[in-house]
Amino acid sequence: MTVQERPGAAYRPTPPPAWKPRTDPAPLLPDPEPYRVLGTGAASGADPELLLRLYAELVRGRRYNAQATALTKQGRLAVYPSSTGQEACQVAAALALEQRDWLFPSYRDTLAAVARGLDPVQALTLLRGDWHTGYDPHEHRIAPLSTPLATQLPHAVGLAHAARLEGDDVVALAMVGDGGTSEGDFHEALNFAAVWRAPVVFFVQNNGFAISVPLAKQTAAPSLAHKAVGYGMPGRLVDGNDAAAVHEVLGEAVARARRGGGPTLVEAITYRIDAHTNADDATRYRGDGEVEAWRAHDPIRLLETELTGRGLLDEDAVRAAAEGAEAMAARLRERMNADPVLHPMDLFEHVYAEQTGQLREQAAQLRAELEAEGAEDAHRAEGDAR
Amino acid sequence: MSTATARQAKPATMAQALQRAMRDAMSEDPAVHVLGEDVGTLGGVFRVTDGLAEEFGEDRCTDTPLAEAGILGTAVGMAMYGLRPVVEMQFDAFAYPAFEQLISHVSRMRNRTRGAMPLPITVRVPYGGGIGGVEHHSDSSEAYYMATPGLHVVTPATVEDAYGLLRKAIASDDPVVFLEPKRLYWSKADWSPDAPAAVEPIGRAVVRRTGRSATLVTYGPSVPVCMEAAEAAEAEGWDLEVVDLRSLVPFDDETVCASVRRTGRAVVVHESTGFGGPGGEIAARVTERCFHHLEAPVLRVAGFDIPYPPPMLERHHLPGVDRVLDAVARLQWEVESR
């Protein structure tokens, strides 16, 4: 017998206080189709100068990816996670920001850092293996390339929040892959950003696979952009191979953040044409047909078609862009073929502001080893000379 | 004279000294921000941040969403922008979700950027047992932090050190894991908050009690235990020296080894597990440096190698005065049996 059935039970539950949603979810929901500009009516409104700039950067970016991949084959880079096929996302991310803004890249976003103006050799030190971060993040306002997934997203939130507290209109753009959206830090970063209305843009490049795991095994969400509504921020879905569309959507999100409108989650639908890295065999988890279908939706060709159709690009201009990219690749190759100069004593230099006693002892040990090696080398050289 | 009267020492708790340290740091430097779960309106579950939000506003002392990785992760970004975040982890075991941020980013940002991006973050972690806390509220996690290069790891045992070490931690350009022995939060001492004693740099141990028979090497919540044991040992004719490490990283080899060389015997005392715990490292360092001065092996008195026990059993787990004295007795036996 339950309480209610008991005869004479005096308890009469009162209804709970009226509940209503905190935020109307409808305006936060992404459009059902990824936003497109190229090949649609919206293209005629696009700024020709911007389109030409995007084109030049895309061509350079494609060549950069090819060159860096080649450098892994020559043993000059330990690894290179290529963004071939995703160049529109990389370039648009860099160009959507003002100089005072910050970029928080993941390990696949070297090209975004280079398109933002970072020296390509400095951008590649992590992957070459001579130092983890080859540049001063403050100088370029580019955080170190983050290898752990999504852990750089809360950094972007904290930085943007701090900037706003300091009265600066700085925006942080944080890049993450589809796999990274499954990580706990993705959730915590989006939640903090929304609660704090931090000026951050979260940019998911959904390239279909987290190494080998396809999106269907990664998430049951209608789209990754739909996740935004759960945090109380707008989600936008964009064609990640349409440089004009990505630039426009990111530009709007950045502008919204700058004027105090809070964070946005942007999901770009794109595809990783190359394998995860040179250590990966992509044929084990995807068919050629799929790759070919995406090749047909190539970001450079999309833009080329648009520009040619509008008479903004002729054969000479295409050739000029290709030659510029080739010159960049040649310079990169030449510089990367020189062995970096390494200083073993650097190992102890930047662990703490001031070395601990323990590190001073270890530094002395290494110094003695190096001196002994030096003596041995000198001895060997002397022997060779005889 | 009137100023001196106003600054007279009166009883203060460790929690009050910690709060005062944050208040003074926030008053002196607008870059200092406090953030964590419940640190604002409530003043922290231990009231250590009491009054800070009221005095400095919610932008300086911020109640965050309940997410430790998010708290520490956003603190990284804030530090990148020039702020000096002081984050509270509420309880030792609640800090574990933030470990990836601590280990993959906080500890190594200076190193990976060759000094270009130091992170002056203080991570306050109330730790240790003895307060009857239920599961996940009494862990001694110092060995995890000690094993991570790039972090300073400090822990006060006195009201005065609580103030001094926290001021130094907040002022440090490097990340500091600041372990607060929660069972000492309400320990009192005559302490003048208006004229705190000279603050020593991080990395210096202190001899709390001089003695000739043996050295007790200890820190944080075990310091009062060792002081009590040293008093009790007098009846046995043992004159024990007590060294309070204060800082686990950097480790003050000099003070510890000078003491052990004087006494010839050492016992390391801490709550954390013995196997893989800080005592193993300390015993090894002492043995490597003082072997020819040692009259007996360096012993450890530690918590058992078990997950932290339920509160009704914790008194059997925590190293108490008797267990310390038993170890000291074993040191004597090693000498006699030779």
The shortest C-alpha distance from A112 to chain B (Å) reads 19
User: Is B338 among the domain residues?
Assistant: no
For residues A260-280, average pLDDT: 94
Identify whether A231 is a catalytic site residue: no
Q: Does residue B199 fall inside a structural domain?
A: no
Q: How confident is the model at residue A2 (pLDDT cuts 50, 70, 90)?
A: low
Could you tell me if B216 and B321 lie in one domain? yes
Rounded average pLDDT over A8-30: 88
Tell me phi and psi for residue A201, to 5 degrees.
-120, 125
Query: Residue A198 in contact with residue A160, Cβ under 8 Å?
Result: yes
Residue B50 lies in a domain: yes
A351 CB neighbours in chain B (<8 A) are: 110-111, 149-150
pLDDT tens, position by position, B277-298:
999 999 999 999 999 999 999 9
| A135, A158, A184 ranked by CB distance to B74: nearest | A158
- B166 and B227 share a domain? no
Distance separating alpha carbons of residues A12 and B308, to the nearest angstrom: 45
Residue B71 has pLDDT above 70, yes or no: yes
pLDDT band at B1 (very low <50, low <70, confident <90, very high): very low
Q: Domain check: are B167 and B47 in the same one?
A: yes
Residue A301, φ and ψ in degrees, nearest 5:
-65, -35
Share of residues in chain A with pLDDT > 90 (%): 88
* Amino acid B4: pLDDT: 44
Band of pLDDT at residue B320, cut at 50, 70 and 90: very high
Residues of chain B contacting A118 with CB distance shorter than 8 Å: none
pLDDT number for residue A7: 61
Model confidence at B2, pLDDT cuts 50, 70, 90, reads very low
Of B125, B157, B191, which residue constitutes the final position of a domain?
A: B191
Structure tokens of A162?
């701090």
Pick from A157, A159, A350: CB nearest B115: A350
Share of chain B above pLDDT 90, in %: 91
Tell whether B226 and B113 lie within a shared domain.
no
Which one of B80, B202, B289 would you mutate to disrupt binding with A, by most A Cβ within 10 Å of its Cβ? B80
Structural domains in chain B (count): 2
Task: Examine the pLDDT at B105 and tell me if it is beyond 80.
Answer: yes
Per annotation, catalytic residue among B33, B136, B137, B317: B137
For residue B104, the tally of other CB atoms under 10 A from its CB is 16
Whole-structure pTM value: 0.94
**B317-335 as b/e, with b when 16 or more CB fall inside 10 Å?**
bbbbbebbbebbeebbeee
Domain boundary among B166, B191, B216: B191
Residue whose structure tokens are 């020819």: B292
Taking all residues of chain A, what is their mean pLDDT, rounded to a whole number? 94
Instruction: Give the tens place of pLDDT for each residue, A7-18.
Output: 666 788 888 899
Please report, for the domain that includes residue B294, its CATH number.
3.40.50.920
Same-domain check for residues B181 and B216? no
Q: Could you say which of B70, B117, B118 has the minimum Cβ distance to residue A188? A: B70
Which residue among B72, B80, B101 sits closest to A159, beta carbon to beta carbon?
B80
Residue A140 has pLDDT above 70, yes or no: yes
Q: How confident is the model at residue A375 (pLDDT cuts 50, 70, 90)?
A: confident
Q: Smallest Cα–Cα separation from B328: which of B169, B161, B216, B192?
A: B216
Q: Note the pLDDT of residue B5.
A: 43
* A141-156 pLDDT tens trace: 999 999 999 999 999 9
Q: What is the pLDDT of residue A4?
A: 54
Q: Do B79 and A158 touch (CB under 8 A)?
A: yes
Assigned domain for B2 exists: no
Q: Are residues B211 and B153 in the same domain?
A: no
Q: Is the pLDDT of residue B335 over 70?
A: no
Per-residue pLDDT, B192: 79
What does the CA dihedral A182, A186, A190, A193 come to, rounded to 10 degrees? 180
The reply to whether B289 falls in a domain is: yes
**Average pLDDT for A117-137:** 95
The rounded mean pLDDT for chain B is 94
Percent of chain A surpassing pLDDT 70: 97
| Residue in A265, A276, A283 with CA at minimum distance from that of residue A191 | A265
| pLDDT > 90? residue B91 | yes
How does residue B336 score in pLDDT terms, banded at 50, 70 and 90?
low
Residue B305 included in any domain: yes
Q: Which residues of A touch B108 (CB under 8 A)?
A: 132
**Is residue B89 assigned to a domain?**
yes
Residue A80 CB: number of other CB atoms within 10 A? Answer: 24
Number of cross-chain residue pairs from A and B with Cβ atoms under 8 Å apart: 143
- Is residue B163 assigned to a domain? yes
Do B181 and B305 belong to one domain?
no
Q: Is A285 a catalytic residue?
A: yes
3-state secondary structure of B276: coil
DSSP state letters, B222-273: HHHHHHHHHHHHGGGT--EEEEE-SEEETT-HHHHHHHHHHHS-EEEEEEEE
Beta carbons of B64 and A346 less than 8 Å apart: no
Decide if B67 and A133 are in contact by the 8 Å CB cutoff: no
Q: Do B159 and B288 belong together in one domain?
A: no
CATH of the domain at B35: 3.40.50.970
Q: Out of B33, B80, B116, whose CB is closest to A155?
A: B80
CA distance B240 to B212: 6
Mean pLDDT across A355-365: 96
Domain C-terminal end among B163, B191, B219? B191
Model confidence at A117, pLDDT cuts 50, 70, 90, reads very high
B199-239 pLDDT, tens digit each: 789 999 999 999 999 999 999 999 999 999 999 999 989 99
Q: CA gyration radius for chain B?
A: 20
How much is the pLDDT for B256?
98
pLDDT tens digit string along B123-170?
999 999 999 999 999 999 999 999 999 999 999 999 999 999 999 999
Chain B neighbors of A132, CB-CB under 8 A: 108, 111-113
pLDDT of res. B102: 98
Domain that holds residue B102: 12-191
Q: Assess whether B212 and B267 both reside in one domain.
A: yes
CB spacing of B69 vs A148 below 8 angstroms: no
Residues B181, B212 within the same domain: no
Same domain, B243 and B158: no
A262 token code pair: 């809070």
Q: Which is the catalytic residue, given A285, A286, A301, A333? A: A285
One-letter amino acid identity for B227?
M
Q: Do B182 and B36 fall within a single domain?
A: yes
CB neighbour list of residue B244: distance below 8 Å, 6 or more residues apart: B157, B158, B161, B205, B206, B207, B208, B218, B219, B223
Residues of A in contact with B79 (CB under 8 A): 158
